[in-house]
Structures are given as structure tokens and as C-alpha cells.
Amino acid sequence: MSASGTAAAGQVEHMLRQVTPGRFDTYEALLRALSDPAGGRIWMLLWHGQPGSPDAQYGNIEVDGAGYAPCVTSPQELAASGWTRAHEVVSGPDIARILYPERWGIWLNPHAPGGGVGIPWLDLRRIAAGLDRMPAGPLRLSEPAVEIPQFYALLTQNAHRTPAVRSLRRAWVQPAVGPAYLAVGLDLYDTGPQAVESVRVMMQQSVGAVPDGLPVSTVALADEYDPVTMWMRANTRPFYDREAHAGGPPAGGGGYGYPQPGAAGGLR
């Protein structure tokens, strides 16, 4: 490994030592160190096979019903772990892209005093996609609670004029780190480039009715890995449903949202 790679791996270990329960800022710093494609290296423990072989299989542990692949953060930690089977050195983004679609996380240095730190698959997804593109968990999700009927009336009217939109849902999202925001869930008939652009225009035409300081984001309801999407589908009903209102656009339907400092956003 290059000197720069060694330094970055050392940063992962440094941030790992800073993580304590309830300190989401230090946990986010650990995720940033892991997301460095040039140096956020970890040593994945192989239960079967050799690196690159077809039968290679990572180890696995289960914590509170969730699966994790154990790994270590340096050759020194590998030696300290006593692991005698093969291992594979990978970058944080690479292992994130491999594991999160299977809903597996990683567990850093499980042999260490205190048991190490687990990174759940939802945070591996954030590493794979870009930490700044997705909210920091754990998320507090709820129905929005402050009425903004002008925004919802305009949004539903524009949605009815946008053929790609099947339905819309909403949630109030409070990340562990960063400002809370209103999320609009998009259920689309068509996800081709033209359809996505028409939905982007729909949102741009609608956010002017959002009160100043209320951040707004969107999420695709077809995304089976997004925690906001999963919550919306399990806990909310559409506030706009084209098929239920085939005769015309629905009335604004009592809108909600908590004003917070920040600018209105677009598609994410």
C-alpha cells in the first residue's frame, strides 16, 4: 500500500477510536474516512476461498437480527484478531457497493475491546452513492404537521399535468445530523430520461409555493433500499393519486411541513 493509502487507513482507525454511543458527528466522520476511494481500505475476513476466487465468501455475524461481514482496519489489527484464514483488502466504496444490495453491513474490528463498530447496510448505501446525497441515519420519520396548502395544491395540479406521475406521498424527515426536511415521494409510470426531466420541471414549478426556509427533497418510491421510501410505503397514503382521481386533479388536500432554516431543494 502507498504511503497515502496507509495514512488514509490510519484515519479510519483514528476515527473508529473516536466513535461513542450518541456521537453521530464522530460516526459520520468515520463514514467519511471509509468513503475515501483512494485510501479508505479495510481487510475483509474470508470464511471460504481466496481473494478473487469464485468460491470466496466473507465471514458473517448477526447483531440484533441484522447481518454484518467482519473486517479489520489494518495489518496490525489483522494480526491482533488472530484470524488465520484468507483476507481481502478492499476500499470502503467497493465493499459498500458489493454488500448493501444484499442488505449486509460490515463490522469493524469485532475482536477489539468493546467489540468494534458496526456499519449497517443503509450506511453502506450512503457510502456507495455519496454521503452528501442521502440523509444521515438513524432517521426520525413522521407525517408532516404544519399546513402548507398552497404548495400541495400547486404540486398536485402540476403532477396531474405530468403524465409520468402515478402518485405522490410525503414525510417529515429528521436526520441524525443535519436539518430536518420535507420529503416528497414520487411514484412514476416511466423512469426514462424524458419522464425524469418532466418530473424535475414539475418540482421546480411547484417549490416556489414552499414557505421560505423549508427544505424540500424528493425520493423515488420505486427505490426498495431507501429508508424514507420504505417508511412512506408502510405508513402513508398518497396525497395525490392519478388513478384514484381519474376525473381530474384532486383538491390540495391539507398539506403539511415544518418550516426550518435552509433553502428549498430539488430532486435528489
Q: What is the pLDDT of residues 148-181, one digit of tens each?
A: 999 999 999 999 999 999 999 999 999 998 899 9
Distances from the Cα of 78 to the Cαs of 89, 230, 268, in angstroms?
Answer: 11, 37, 38
Is the confidence at residue 39, as pLDDT, over 90?
no
Is residue 173 a contact partner of residue 183, using CB atoms and an 8 Å limit? Answer: yes
Over residues 201-210, the pLDDT tens digits come to 999 999 999 9
> In the predicted model, what is the mean pLDDT of the chain?
87
Residue 223, CA distances (Å) to 139, 186, 188 in order: 17, 10, 11
What is the per-residue pLDDT for 237? Answer: 96
Q: Tell which wins on pLDDT, 261 or 232.
A: 232
pLDDT at residue 22, rounded to an integer = 83
pLDDT value of residue 268 = 30
| Domains, in order of start, for the chain | 3-133 (no CATH), 140-241 (3.30.70.1350)
pLDDT of residue 265: 34
Neighbours of 175 (CB within 10 A): 17
pLDDT in tens, 213-225: 999 999 999 999 9
What pLDDT score was predicted for residue 246? 64
This prediction has a pTM of: 0.81
Q: Using only C-alpha atoms, what is the Rg of the chain?
A: 22
162, 197 Cβ separation under 8 angstroms: no
Instruction: Name the grid cell of 178.
Output: 443535519
The predicted pLDDT at position 40 comes to 83
Q: What is the mean pLDDT of residues 235-257?
A: 64
Average pLDDT for 43-58: 91
pLDDT, mean of residues 31-55: 90
Q: What is the pLDDT of residue 8?
A: 47
pLDDT over 70, % of the chain = 87
